[in-house]
Structure 1
Amino acid sequence: MNQELILDARTDSAKNLAWWLYLAHAASFFFSLGLFSIIPLLFNYAKRDDTRGTFIESHHSWMIRSFWWYVVWVVVGAALFVTMVGIPFAFLVWGVAWIWKAYRLIRGWVTLNQNQPI
């Protein structure tokens, strides 16, 4: 049995914005290693309250948490990089953080397209 979810105009517009914010986070992530993700992050914070009570609210929170945890792991990698002994571990931390962030973006985007909360 196939069920189709029909969204009202407000929810559809919010979903469309979340879709573009995932794209902006991904573009920033691939072209600047997340440096410019601060721009879509501000939109996530600004629009999260507008989507309160919908499945899209969870996507804004997901992107916000993904950003801040990625920043934490980049800083941990930078602290390791400062020491000569920690340089290989820094690259390991950065590599794992990059893969983790890519996973979070892809999973969020796919779940959003399925009209489900994350």
Structure 2
Amino acid sequence: MSQELVYERGVEDAKQFARILYVAHALTFLFSAGMLSILVLIVNYVKRPDTAGTLVYSHHTWMIRSFWWYAIWFALATVIFFTLGFILIGLPIAWAMWGIAWIWMAYRIIRGFLDLNNNRAMPV
């Protein structure tokens, strides 16, 4: 068996695993508002070095960055909710931030999944 065939099979396996991680991220955001996504994030960190030099590496980086930006915005909205929630204006601001963060994360997951299926690297 040639080296290229082994390499291609390895890349295809890595792509399939990245697809599974995209689905896992999506499910955690649907059913736990992303709180359980920390488990999937750990897997991203563990598997990313195995994909160095391939387009899959950029997808792991994309998922990692997406999670951390989402976590920052979610935490900021939570702080606003608990500090300004007693004031009428704090509630809609926090809810809007949570909603925007959730929609942004959904966009990142869908875009990443579609780009992976189309063999496109994510911007780094």
User: Per the shorter chain, which TM-score range?
Assistant: over 0.9
What is the TM-score of this pair, normalised by structure 2? 0.88
- CA shift, 1:70, in A, is 0.5
- Matches for 1:8-27 after TM superposition, within 5 Å: 8-27=8-27
What do residues 84-114 of structure 1 show as CA deviations (whole Å, max 9, x unaligned)? 2312100010010010000000000000000
- Aligned pair count reads 113
Tell me the amino acid that sits aligned with residue 91 of structure 2. I
Structure 2: gaps of 5 or more residues: none
How far off its partner does 1:27 sit? 0.5
- In the superposition, the TM-score normalised over structure 1's length comes to 0.92
Aligned residue in 1 for 2:64: 64
- 1:102 is the counterpart of 2:100: no
Give 2:54's aligned residue: 54
Q: Which residue number corresponds to residue 31 of structure 2?
A: 31
User: For 1:113, which of 112, 117, 121 is the aligned residue?
Assistant: 117
Q: Which amino acid aligns with 1:112?
A: L
User: In structure 2, what is the Cα distance between the partners aligned to 1:71 and 1:115?
Assistant: 28
Write the letter of the residue equivalent to 2:106.
A
Aligned position for 2:79: 79
Counterpart of 1:35 in 2: which secondary structure? coil
CA distance in 1, matches of 2:74, 2:40: 19
* Separation of aligned partners in 2, 1:12 and 1:115: 10
Q: Match for 1:93 among 94, 97, 120?
A: 97
Q: After TM superposition, what 4+ stretches of structure 1 lie above 2 angstroms from structure 2?
A: none
Which consecutive unaligned segments of at least 5 residues does structure 1 have? Answer: 1-5
